Structure 1
Amino acid sequence: MNWRYIFMIPALYLSSGLAQESIDRENEQDSGIDLVKQCVLNEVIAGDEKQTIAELKEKCTALEESKQLSFLDKRMAREKVSGKNRNVITPHRRNYILPVSYVSHPNARPFDGFDELSDDDSGEPLDNLEAKYQLSIKVPLYDGFDDEDQGVFFGFTLQSYWQVYNKDISSPFRETNYEPEIFWVNFLDSENVLWGDEMAIVLGFSHQSNGRSQPNSRSWNRIYADFIWENRGFVFSFKPWYRIPEDEKTESLSADGDDNPDIYKYMGYFEFSGAYRMAQHEFSFMARNNLNSENRGAIQLDWSFPLWGRVRGYAQYFNGYGESLIDYNADIERIGLGIVLTDLL
């Protein structure tokens, strides 16, 4: 895979005048959110209780008159409503299920023990066809900053791989990854934006593990920064991280020590991603690379599209290392189709 072409994607996007026309139309007629109604909900649930109806009306009408809200502004407005509503869960990353996904060469090495359960000793224990799903939520922990565009959040993401069609080994969940994290978010004021039309900075700590015993235990801890910016309707994210080192194992099957000391060789030190919404379709990409002679990394392409109501179709393609922790050092290629409940933008 030639990574030079992956990093040309943003440049090609930004060179197109169609991008600005599309975002202008999206701002003028946004079918996903009525900005005035959203503002009223924000103020009723979480606003200043002392403000008068006239003050509320003036504040929310100003949003409609500007018609210049970015996709990041709109998502933040929606989250402010859900963050104060105890009957609503705020999404963090995408929430989706791929009932059908095809893996060209599933990594069967950690599951050699399943062979003894199979009648066909010559066959692989894992099916190429499996289901994949992701659940991702967050809750605000502290939003008492003087700047209302700042906040501290707790997030949790669960991603699971299910051999649902593999009746020979009782349809097990092949791998499940759990990622709790805590992070601070700051949406910058317009005069402080370094590049693009809108910008946010995230600083956080993340723990990710698969919750399994030896020899298939995998985990790592990271501190990270995430620089998010929007330019002419395209939203990009550059997320570098530092892995917190662990002690070396004294014995290979010991519960203490580093389960995967070479994970950086496959996952690298950063993730670069982008998303764009055109009408009711959302397109995104993610790229990683370890930036050395081995040229290991990954790319993921996503497309979501309308079906009915809240239900949207979702297609995903992944190629590379680190799709899951158990496969962090296995080269995986997957294509899947399903539904998504919450998008990025």
Structure 2
Amino acid sequence: MTRFYALVSLLLVCLGAAADDDKDTESSLSGQEMAECLKTAVSGASREMTIEDLREICRTLGQNQSQEEQSVLDAVQALSGDEQDDSEEEQEENDPSGASRLMEKRLNMEALNRANRFLLTPHRRNYLLPVSYQDERNTAPYAEAGSPLADLMSTEVEFQLSVKILIRESILGDNGHLYMAYTNYSLFQAYDREASRPFRETNHQPELILSFVNDWKIFGFRNVLNEVILNHQSNGQDGSLSRSWDRIMLSTVFERGPFAFSLTPWYRIPEDEGDGPDDPTGDDNPDIEKYMGHFELSAAYKRNDQIVSLMVRNNLESDNRGAVELGWSFPVSSTVRGYFRYFNGYGHSLIDYDYHTNAVGLGITFTDLF
């Protein structure tokens, strides 16, 4: 565990040190292209958005297109031996539009979609990992329940679907947006033909989110988002396989150039002890905080359209229980990105909340962090 936390600390330092070194390629739209984009954008914009907000969104969309074109030019320059030496720090200083603000881009895009009731806004990462491997499986809960899942394969399919919808907009002046969100995280024994390819675990996570955008600065970082969240998480099982808990969470998000991080502490809403695991009114997992911790720290760094992410959970106690997750996403096409994920610790899923897991997966993500 000492090496584990040393790795986490080193990565955080590296991400922080590199935060000033990156800058997205600034795009340029012609007057006609900007006008066409504004016509489309205004039909779905939320009521508090300004013309400049819509222009920034259009610049972002143009930038995404220009990045694909730039990758082709970069390849040609590499073959011809030409090199381009731009000062990324100077580009950021000369960028009054704030094009390098990663979270602001995402928030603007979400604001554009808020008024469109035919769209579901992505919440957490949406991804599919056709190959997810664990060196040792947690078979004990299934064996105790007499489930055929006591004989698990080490390789399975892992995926997550996460969306949110706007319930009420601008509760406090032009700020304070109320969302309802839902995240489905599933582990699918797709390669176990003898057991008829069962879903061994599905975690359901509905949330009620009160979100506030912000522009406060400290130590060069901008606080761009703050949220109050009512969170329920359950695996939908009964008896001894049932796992669930309810939390009140506070989340704050900061960014600086290509680097963003969030801190999310929580308070678990107490449950009655009940009369054992078969009592549906009792607490299925009274010791879950010892393993899942009391907070989550996440960080992400974007460079050359690749995103490296880190998640850390800890219970702030001497036994050093918690988890770390490393992610890397990279462009594959205009609609999907490659995604590599490594998880080490407790809480890979709710059924494994008290089991130490090493898991590695490779696949694609449909909606990324930003």
The two structures have a TM-score, normalised by structure 1, of: 0.86
Aligned length: 328
Distance in 2 between residues matched to 1:184 and 1:39, nearest whole Å: 28
Distance in 1 between residues matched to 2:297 and 2:341, nearest whole Å: 17
- For residues 177 and 35 of structure 1, do their structure 2 counterparts lie closer, same or farther at Cα, with a shift above 3 Å needed? farther
- 1:27 CA displacement: 5.3
Which runs of structure 2 are paired with 1:144-159 in the superposition (5 Å)? 144-145=170-171, 147-159=173-185
Q: Deviations 1:271-300 (Å, cap 9, x if unpaired)?
A: 001011112211101001112121111010
Distance in 1 between residues matched to 2:232 and 2:275, nearest whole Å: 23
- 1:117 CA displacement: 5.8
- For residues 256 and 153 of structure 1, do their structure 2 counterparts lie closer, same or farther at Cα, with a shift above 3 Å needed? same
Instruction: Give the one of 247, 251, 255 matched to 2:272.
Output: 247
* Residues 336 and 365 in structure 2, CA contact (< 8 A), matched pair in contact too: yes
* Residues 14 and 232 in structure 1, CA contact (< 8 A), matched pair in contact too: no
- For residues 14 and 249 of structure 1, do their structure 2 counterparts lie closer, same or farther at Cα, with a shift above 3 Å needed? same
* Residues 187 and 201 in structure 1, CA contact (< 8 A), matched pair in contact too: yes
Unaligned runs of 5+ in 1: 119-123
- For residues 37 and 61 of structure 1, do their structure 2 counterparts lie closer, same or farther at Cα, with a shift above 3 Å needed? farther
Q: Structure 1 residue 87 and structure 2 residue 118: aligned?
A: yes
Match of 2:238 in 1: 213
Distance in 1 between residues matched to 2:28 and 2:8, nearest whole Å: 30
Instruction: Give the one of 317, 335, 343 matched to 2:342.
Output: 317
* Local SS of the residue matching 1:197: strand
Distance in 2 between residues matched to 1:103 and 1:343, nearest whole Å: 24
Match of 1:43 in 2: 42
* Local SS of the residue matching 1:246: coil
Instruction: Give the one of 275, 287, 295 matched to 1:262.
Output: 287
* Residues 301 and 316 in structure 1, CA contact (< 8 A), matched pair in contact too: yes
* Local SS of the residue matching 1:171: coil
Which runs of structure 2 are paired with 1:91-110 in the superposition (5 Å)? 91-110=122-141
* Residues 41 and 54 in structure 2, CA contact (< 8 A), matched pair in contact too: no
- For residues 207 and 117 of structure 1, do their structure 2 counterparts lie closer, same or farther at Cα, with a shift above 3 Å needed? closer
The amino acid that maps onto 2:8 is: I
Per mean C-alpha deviation after superposition, the further-off stretch among 325-334 and 107-116 is 107-116
Q: Structure 1 residue 60 and structure 2 residue 55: aligned?
A: yes
Q: Deviations 1:141-196 (Å, cap 9, x if unpaired)?
A: 1113354343111110000000111122211100000000001111113xx33451
Q: Deviations 1:84-135 (Å, cap 9, x if unpaired)?
A: 22332210000001011111101111222798869xxxxx610000000000
Distance in 2 between residues matched to 1:232 and 1:209, nearest whole Å: 36
* Residues 204 and 233 in structure 2, CA contact (< 8 A), matched pair in contact too: yes
Distance in 2 between residues matched to 1:254 and 1:308, nearest whole Å: 49
Per mean C-alpha deviation after superposition, the further-off stretch among 37-46 and 99-108 is 37-46
- 1:249 CA displacement: 2.0
* Residues 36 and 60 in structure 1, CA contact (< 8 A), matched pair in contact too: no
The amino acid that maps onto 1:302 is: G
The amino acid that maps onto 1:22 is: D
* Residues 158 and 176 in structure 1, CA contact (< 8 A), matched pair in contact too: yes
Q: Structure 1 residue 12 and structure 2 residue 14: aligned?
A: yes
The amino acid that maps onto 2:245 is: W
Distance in 2 between residues matched to 1:80 and 1:56, nearest whole Å: 13
Which runs of structure 2 are paired with 1:68-79 in the superposition (5 Å)? 68-69=98-99, 70-79=101-110
Match of 1:111 in 2: 142
Distance in 2 between residues matched to 1:316 and 1:193, nearest whole Å: 31
Distance in 2 between residues matched to 1:313 and 1:58, nearest whole Å: 30
Which runs of structure 2 are paired with 1:164-243 in the superposition (5 Å)? 164-189=190-215, 192-195=216-219, 196-243=221-268
Per mean C-alpha deviation after superposition, the further-off stretch among 127-136 and 226-235 is 226-235
The amino acid that maps onto 2:273 is: E
Q: Deviations 1:22-78 (Å, cap 9, x if unpaired)?
A: 22xx151499xx9987665443323559x9xxx948973899683314111100111
- 1:8 CA displacement: 4.2
The root-mean-square deviation of aligned C-alpha atoms, in Å, is 2.9
* Local SS of the residue matching 1:264: helix
- For residues 57 and 322 of structure 1, do their structure 2 counterparts lie closer, same or farther at Cα, with a shift above 3 Å needed? closer
- For residues 48 and 252 of structure 1, do their structure 2 counterparts lie closer, same or farther at Cα, with a shift above 3 Å needed? closer
Distance in 2 between residues matched to 1:254 and 1:39, nearest whole Å: 57
Match of 2:62 in 1: none
Unaligned runs of 5+ in 2: 60-94
Distance in 2 between residues matched to 1:73 and 1:340, nearest whole Å: 21
Q: Deviations 1:173-223 (Å, cap 9, x if unpaired)?
A: 00000000001111113xx33451343111111000011110111100000
Q: Structure 1 residue 332 and structure 2 residue 331: aligned?
A: no
* Residues 338 and 365 in structure 2, CA contact (< 8 A), matched pair in contact too: yes
Match of 2:26 in 1: 28
Match of 1:344 in 2: 369
- For residues 47 and 176 of structure 1, do their structure 2 counterparts lie closer, same or farther at Cα, with a shift above 3 Å needed? closer
Per mean C-alpha deviation after superposition, the further-off stretch among 333-342 and 226-235 is 226-235
